[in-house]
Structure 1
Amino acid sequence: MKEIVLKAFAKINLSLDVLGVLPNGYHEVRMVMQQVELHDLVTVRWQEIKSTDLPERIVLMTDRTDLPADGENIAFKAAELMMKRFGKTGQVQLFIEKHIPVAAGLAGGSADGAAVLHGLNFLWDLNLTIAELCEIGVQIGADLPFCIMGQARGNTCLGILSDDRFSAACALAEGIGEKLQPLPSLDCWIVLSKPPISISTAEVYQGIDQELDGNNVLHPDSNTLIQGLFEKNHHKIVQNMVNILELFTLKRYPIIVYTKNLMDQQGPMKTLMSGSGPTVFAIYLEKSKAEDAFKTLCQHNQETFITKTLL
């Protein structure tokens, strides 16, 4: 039996704009995403067996009782899709050691699925490029392609993929999130804090349509933010960090406002909700200030973390 252990990194949104609704019902977005060092550990094992009569072709285990271990799990779906696409007979065994909060706006499930795609590409000697893996991943979810890019950057065991031009921990994402342009990473400390609630992504995107019908909506200037990344100008970056989904979630969920206000009191360069929430993150250039904020937020939200951006 062959195996590989991969880091499945969380992501944050440095900006998130909603441009409209596409004919297929998905929202068209434009956003800058950044991977952080907080990660799950995903073990992918492969045992080739000629018989197609295996009772379980995919076995998924986790260290969390609240995570599905079947086709409801993105990692399971990823293994299922790869086995069907490449006609493999045998058994895939997956184990997820979970550290990224669940249903948090941090793409934890997508990160696990991306790790499975990378793992099977490696174990099966398929030699797929990042672009080819992304084409497979987007069939499962819009966040998978970006997670695939960042994992190629952050897992040196994947070898030559780290030299692929799409190996990047930061990217501009357009379309439904699958059209990706690699960008230089933001270099800073991050404090993440998830209030003790879960939010439906579908609910947030349904709710944002009505909010965007109003006037005086502050949309993110992602182009200027991107200039800041290339220039390593932290002031320009934070001045242009906007998550348009906050228009809905901050009205609907006061506990997110409370967390964001508490974070603002700790002197960060910027606080922002990630994705559709509810996790809020704060940016610091100094580790000591990030550590002080982490200690304070831990007293209020159990799922609070200090980490760094992935470079």
Structure 2
Amino acid sequence: MKSIRLKAYAKVNLSLDVLGKLDNGYHQVEMIMQQIKLSDDVFIRWFPDEDADGISITLKTNRYYLPVDSRNLAYKAAQIMSERVGHGLKGTVRIDIKKNIPVAAGLAGGSGNGAAVLHGLNVLWEAGLNLKKLCSLGAELGSDVPFTIMGQARGNRDLIKVFGKDPMATTCALAYGTGTELKPIKPLESPILLSKPPLSVSTAEVYQGLDKEAIEKRPDNKAMEEGLLAGNIDIVKKNMVNVLEGYTLSHYKQVKETKEKMIEVCPGASVLMSGSGPSVFAVSQDREELERGYKELKEINEETYLTRTIV
């Protein structure tokens, strides 16, 4: 038996712009994503068995309501790896996921789990795939998966040994196209306050709603990239804009209330919704302010966390 344990980190969107809708129905985006220390624990084991009929997959999680079949990106990742690099292998892949990241929260938790399985089997099966190839496979699973692959290569010790010198091993990137084309950029170094109201938001609904609404303010991603490079937190905070907020905040009262409360209790921070929601986060160099905000938000939303970015 071979095994590997990986951290699947959450991400936040420091910015998110939607530039239009493509003929295939996907939206063209431009956004800056940053990985944070809040993570799921993904334990992958490989039991070779010469008497087995190919490769079988079993998946368990600590959240009873999550699917443990091909509807789960971690399971689907194991299927893709079996099809692409598992030729001639026989045995069982066992995946155990301890979820800490809120589910359906705009934090790429499920995407990160899929990314961890791609990474894990690449190591356990000695497949030798580079980050570019892994990201290409990840794009077949979902638009957030390639970025989580890059971040895990930077954040996990076992993966740093393999990919440490690869420029794609980064925890911050500019994503464009459908979100799978990625440019590594200098990460943000900051504490983060994160809070998820107890509800789910449909990404498809938000994008469809956005198509019918005028976008009043867009982020300047070039300016933010320059701010990150210079380590200028004020430029970063100034350009923290998510165009999806207009729809989500107006249609989901709890998300709006969470953002308003976070702004109230963390007046020196920049506060933004991540992805299509419902999670809201605050960026501030004043950790004491975020600690006070954590106590206030925790009383409103159980899934509230004080964490920080990964550099």
Into which bin does the TM-score normalised by the smaller protein fall?
over 0.9
Structure 2 distance, partners of 1:234, 1:210, is: 33
The SS at the match of 1:305 is strand
**Which residue is equivalent to 2:29?**
29
**Which residue is equivalent to 2:153?**
152
**Which residue is equivalent to 1:200?**
202
**Which residue is equivalent to 1:251?**
250
Whether the aligned pair in 2 keeps the contact of 1:83 and 1:89 (CA below 8 Å) is no
Superposed CA deviations along residues 177-229 of structure 1, whole A, max 9, x for unmatched, are 11100011111110110011101111111111111xx3x62111111011100
Unpaired stretches in structure 1, ≥5 consecutive residues: none
Whether the aligned pair in 2 keeps the contact of 1:41 and 1:96 (CA below 8 Å) is yes
**Which residue is equivalent to 1:231?**
230
* 1:62-77 map, 5 Å: 62-77=61-76
> Amino acid of the residue matched to residue 40 of structure 1?
D
Whether the aligned pair in 1 keeps the contact of 2:198 and 2:301 (CA below 8 Å) is yes
Whether the aligned pair in 1 keeps the contact of 2:59 and 2:96 (CA below 8 Å) is yes
Report the alpha carbon displacement of residue 286 of structure 1 after superposing the two structures with TM. Answer: 2.3
The SS at the match of 1:275 is coil
Whether the aligned pair in 2 keeps the contact of 1:229 and 1:237 (CA below 8 Å) is yes
**Which residue is equivalent to 1:123?**
124
Structure 1 distance, partners of 2:82, 2:227, is: 42
Query: TM-score normalized by structure 1?
Result: 0.96
Structure 2 distance, partners of 1:96, 1:51, is: 27
**Which residue is equivalent to 2:56?**
57
* 1:1-311 map, 5 Å: 1-53=1-53, 57-86=56-85, 87=87, 88-158=89-159, 159-211=161-213, 214=214, 217-266=216-265, 267-311=267-311
The SS at the match of 1:14 is strand
The SS at the match of 1:282 is strand
> Amino acid of the residue matched to residue 157 of structure 2?
T
Aligned length: 307
Structure 1 distance, partners of 2:218, 2:224, is: 12
Report the alpha carbon displacement of residue 52 of structure 1 after superposing the two structures with TM. Answer: 4.6
> Amino acid of the residue matched to residue 112 of structure 1?
N
> Amino acid of the residue matched to residue 122 of structure 2?
N
Report the alpha carbon displacement of residue 128 of structure 1 after superposing the two structures with TM. Answer: 1.2
Q: Which moved more, 1:21-30 or 1:3-12?
A: 21-30
> Amino acid of the residue matched to residue 172 of structure 2?
C
Q: What percentage of aligned pairs have identical amino acids?
A: 49
Structure 2 distance, partners of 1:288, 1:8, is: 27
Structure 1 distance, partners of 2:4, 2:107, is: 23
Whether the aligned pair in 2 keeps the contact of 1:268 and 1:282 (CA below 8 Å) is no
Report the alpha carbon displacement of residue 89 of structure 1 after superposing the two structures with TM. Answer: 2.4
The SS at the match of 1:70 is coil
Query: TM-score normalized by structure 2?
Result: 0.96
Superposed CA RMSD? 1.1
> Amino acid of the residue matched to residue 156 of structure 2?
N
Report the alpha carbon displacement of residue 49 of structure 1 after superposing the two structures with TM. Answer: 1.9
Structure 1 distance, partners of 2:177, 2:276, is: 17
Whether the aligned pair in 2 keeps the contact of 1:192 and 1:306 (CA below 8 Å) is yes
The SS at the match of 2:201 is coil
Whether the aligned pair in 2 keeps the contact of 1:156 and 1:162 (CA below 8 Å) is no
Superposed CA deviations along residues 103-152 of structure 1, whole A, max 9, x for unmatched, are 00000000000000000011111121111100111011010000000000
4+ residue runs over 4 A deviation: none
Superposed CA deviations along residues 240-293 of structure 1, whole A, max 9, x for unmatched, are 110000011011111111000100012242000000100000112122222111
